[in-house]
């Protein structure tokens, strides 16, 4: 055997070892995930659907997944790709959300719109019957209508 053949055989052997190693690692991760799939767990499917597991049928490998209150989907057990575990950050967010003062707006509520709209009404730029903003007139258009 020449030197080149020996190198090719060694490289082939190393490649096979790495393939078996990564395969075992994937199998261990899949087994760990399947252990975490229990009733009441928050999960995500391979399609990106989030929900809570209501029931698991081991014979048919079907899972009843509640996505929103009253909406139950039946999915195959292997479509579950992630189990969400509550973290300390989630608990802190829930506590801070409950600590908002009654006068403060909730997250996502636009406060500036109501302020801007009331200022526009004072200046006459808002149609009071509909509550929508009138299109702004240029100085030339205003002057032309005033001259008529």
Tell me the per-residue pLDDT of 9-33, one tens digit each, with 9 for 90 and over.
999 999 999 999 999 998 898 888 8
Strand 42-45 relative to strand 50-57: parallel, antiparallel, unpaired?
Answer: antiparallel
H/E segment holding residue 81: strand 80-84
What is the pLDDT, as a whole number, of residue 75?
92
Of 18-27, 50-59, 122-131, the poorest mean pLDDT is in 122-131
Rg, the chain, Cα only:
31
- For the record, the structure tokens of 100 come out as 């908002």
Mean pLDDT rounded to a whole number for the chain: 76
Instruction: Look at the pTM and tell me if it is higher than 0.85.
Output: no
User: How many whole angstroms separate alpha carbon 96 and alpha carbon 52?
Assistant: 24
What is the pLDDT, as a whole number, of residue 36?
80
Query: What is the dotted CATH code of the domain comprising 3-89?
Result: 2.30.30
- For the record, the structure tokens of 25 come out as 């690692």
| Model confidence at 76: pLDDT above 60 | yes
Find all residues with CB under 8 Å of 139, minimum gap 6, and list them: none
Task: Read off the pLDDT of each residue in 124-139 and give the average, rounded to a whole number.
Answer: 53
């Amino acid at each position: 055997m020449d030197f080149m053949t020996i190198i090719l055989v060694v490289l082939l052997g190393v490649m096979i070892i790495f393939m078996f190693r990564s395969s075992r690692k994937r199998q261990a991760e899949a087994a760990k995930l399947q252990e975490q799939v229990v009733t009441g767990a928050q999960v995500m499917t391979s399609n990106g659907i989030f929900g809570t597991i209501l029931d698991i049928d081991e014979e048919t490998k079907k899972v009843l997944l509640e996505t929103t209150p009253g909406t139950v989907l039946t999915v195959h057990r292997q479509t579950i790709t992630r189990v969400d575990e509550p973290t300390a950050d989630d608990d802190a967010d829930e506590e801070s959300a409950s600590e908002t003062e009654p006068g403060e707006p909730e997250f996502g509520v636009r406060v500036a719109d109501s302020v801007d709209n009331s200022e526009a009404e004072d200046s006459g730029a808002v149609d009071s019957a509909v509550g929508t903003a009138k299109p702004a007139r240029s100085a030339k258009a205003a002057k032309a209508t005033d001259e008529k």
